[in-house]
Amino acid sequence: MSLISKASLRMIRNLLRVFVLTLMAKEKSKTTHAMDELQASVRPLLKELGFRGRARAFNRTTSDGITQVIEFQLGRFDPPGTQYVGFRQNLYGKFTVNVGVYVPEMHKYTYPGGGELPFVHEYDCWIRARLGTVGPEHHDIWWDLESVHEQAAKVFHRIERDALPFLARFETRDAILQQWKQENSDVSKFARSRQQTACAIIMAIRGRRDEARSILSAALRQLADHPSAQMVRGLFEKLGLGEPES
């Protein structure tokens, strides 16, 4: 009798699991369709600006061989009953927009198995930001996937107003050097070390090795015992810069 009861209990649990998973799949499909519809509204406008799309990402290459990236991101779908602790939020049914700048040599020297990518996602970029953080709010924003066509118009307005000027700041390597060589007290030590590392790579490739060594050494001092320090130390050898300055 107990064996039959256990078997029945397992069957009920399995049926409930299938039911929940089916509901989750339907909800995800509904959200994905809304995101697809929003992107379909924005795609021709981005195409007019020179962007080509693949999946959720759009790429445009500048005259200096730098790739500008705009990528849409759906909020994570959590199973029913998920508990949200601290600052974590339920972002299901929402979306955000990520922007990035991809410089081939930064990817080559800092990413495992680095090399030039035929198509770039925002997470491949060294320079990255969220659309909300480069706008007047200066903080992360997730929008509801409701009234899709109205949201598409609002988001494209923000892309034109906020994302494009941000991307233009890093349109060339000279612009990146101009932005990041100067001291910046508004960023963390880790962010500052990333800026210095990027400048050092660009300078080293251009043959300005002494300047590159000096800047990369400063980045290493900023990092101290941070896990990224090992990657920066490795750059001295990869770029042929000799030993770090003390």
Confidence class for position 187, pLDDT limits 50, 70, 90: low
pLDDT at 225: 84
Number of separate helices (H) and strands (E) present in the chain: 8, 6
Residue among 230, 70, 231 nearest 156 (CA): 70
Is 238's pLDDT higher than 80? yes
For range 228-235, the mean pLDDT: 92
Confidence class for position 179, pLDDT limits 50, 70, 90: confident
Domain ranges of the chain: 2-168, 173-238
pLDDT at 30: 83
For range 45-68, the mean pLDDT: 97
Q: How far is CA 182 from CA 179, 199, 208, 215, 218, in A?
A: 7, 10, 17, 11, 13
Is 168's pLDDT higher than 70? yes
Is 84's pLDDT higher than 50? no
Percent of the chain with pLDDT over 70: 80
DSSP H or E stretch at residue 143? strand 143-144
